[in-house]
């Protein structure tokens, strides 16, 4: 197997990762399941990369809408797409994966690696592959026009874990020549339960739903949408997330700790930290209720946190309330369609069995 790298997803993050890897001498196969997103890149044969004040064209070895073609002969497969597409991608590539290949979800959101692997197995994949997930995307970036991408910032450290956890070193061996910023953590429970979007996205939409539907002038998601009262509920949800992490032995940051570590902000509580965060000042709220802050973050983030909580006997009543209310408002069963215990392959397991499964990839007999 050669050292070619497949990148699946040609949006902001995928284009940035593909162009950067090409700049480092990798043979990059870029794929997007929706051909219209790669047409300009395909015609130009590559991507114009803007990084650190310089702009340079980076040719790609392959640009295709055929995921199986893209991954053929590659050692590393970087999936850089929203979490709701992970199952779709798993279905597409299940029959083409080979022993020894590594798939990295950038990011996995909550329990992405488990969901992806179960998607592979359900579609007949028997290859010995490793699925890893990152806690967040390594770049702050934006794709501009047909074939240009600008990287505004690169995170100094990004947590990563493999499923099974005892194979994380295999993943790092492939990534570190390009991305030494990836830092191993104990298991996917750390990367999954560190998903801050699960806190900051669905609840403000729920509590501003009338405003979203009627206020034609719009509002600022963090600065106006997260009032002191809204912040108190988010804090309660965060306490439940932290309790779930503690039950599984996962060491994660609270929302307040994460804000202080990630941004130049200050304050005595969650509300003040959000209000004083310059990076959040101009982020606008949703213009309609058809927004990924709910349709992705509830089934793919809140639901698996809740399911893990129920397995461990942790009280997650506020998380459950948000899932229930948004399911009713949207007339959808987000728990049934989301990353529930059955879909993750952990239904019927105890807390201890889940921990062991994530470590070794094997279920107790």
Which of 86, 115, 159, 201 is labelled catalytic? 201
Buried b (16+ CB within 10 A) or exposed e, 45-84: ebbbbbbeeeeeebebebbbbebeebbbebbbbbbbbebb
201 is catalytic: yes
**DSSP calls for 124-193:** T--S--EEEEESS-SEEEEEETTTEEEEEEE-S-EEEEEESGGGHHHHHHHHTTT-TTEEE-S-HHHHHH
Which of 297, 310, 315, 331 is labelled catalytic? 297
Residue whose entry in the numeric block shows the structure tokens 């998903």: 195
Q: Which of 165, 309, 311, 68 is nearest to 321 (CA)?
A: 309
Report the distance separating Cα 235 and Cα 307, nearest Å.
19
3-state SS class at 102 = strand
Dihedral sign from CA coordinates of 98, 102, 106, 112: positive
269 is catalytic: no
Catalytic residues: 201, 297
């Amino acid at each position: 197997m050669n050292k070619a790298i497949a990148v699946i997803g040609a949006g902001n993050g995928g284009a940035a990762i593909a162009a950067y890897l090409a700049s480092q001498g990798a043979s990059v196969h870029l794929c997007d399941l929706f051909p219209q997103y790669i047409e300009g890149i395909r015609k130009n044969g590559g991507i114009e990369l803007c990084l650190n004040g310089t702009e340079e064209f980076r040719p790609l070895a392959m640009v295709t809408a055929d995921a199986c073609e893209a991954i053929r002969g590659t050692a590393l497969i970087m999936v850089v797409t929203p979490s709701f597409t992970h199952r779709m991608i798993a279905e597409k590539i299940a029959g083409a994966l080979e022993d020894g290949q590594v798939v990295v979800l950038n990011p996995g959101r909550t329990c992405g690696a488990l969901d992806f692997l179960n998607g592979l197995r359900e579609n007949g994949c028997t290859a010995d592959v490793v699925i890893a997930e990152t806690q967040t995307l390594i770049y702050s970036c934006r794709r501009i026009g047909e074939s240009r991408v600008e990287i505004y910032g690169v995170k100094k450290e990004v947590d990563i874990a493999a499923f099974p956890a005892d194979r994380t070193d295999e993943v790092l061996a492939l990534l570190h020549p390009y991305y030494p910023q990836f830092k191993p953590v104990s298991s996917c429970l750390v990367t999954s339960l560190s998903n801050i979007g699960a806190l900051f996205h669905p609840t403000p939409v729920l509590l501003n739903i009338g405003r979203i539907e009627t206020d034609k002038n719009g509002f600022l998601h963090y600065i106006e949408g997260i009032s002191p009262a809204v912040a108190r509920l988010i804090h309660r949800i965060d306490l439940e997330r932290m309790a779930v992490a503690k039950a599984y032995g996962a060491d994660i940051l609270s929302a307040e700790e994460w804000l202080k570590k990630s941004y130049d902000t200050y304050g005595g509580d969650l509300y003040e930290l959000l209000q004083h965060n310059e990076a959040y000042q101009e982020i606008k709220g949703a213009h309609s209720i058809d927004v990924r802050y709910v349709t992705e973050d509830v089934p793919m983030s809140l639901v698996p946190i809740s399911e893990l909580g129920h397995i461990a006997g942790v009280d997650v009543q506020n998380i459950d309330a948000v899932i229930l209310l948004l399911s009713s408002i949207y007339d959808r069963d987000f728990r049934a369609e989301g990353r529930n215990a059955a879909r993750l392959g952990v239904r019927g397991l105890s807390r201890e069995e889940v921990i062991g499964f994530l470590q070794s990839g094997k279920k107790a007999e």
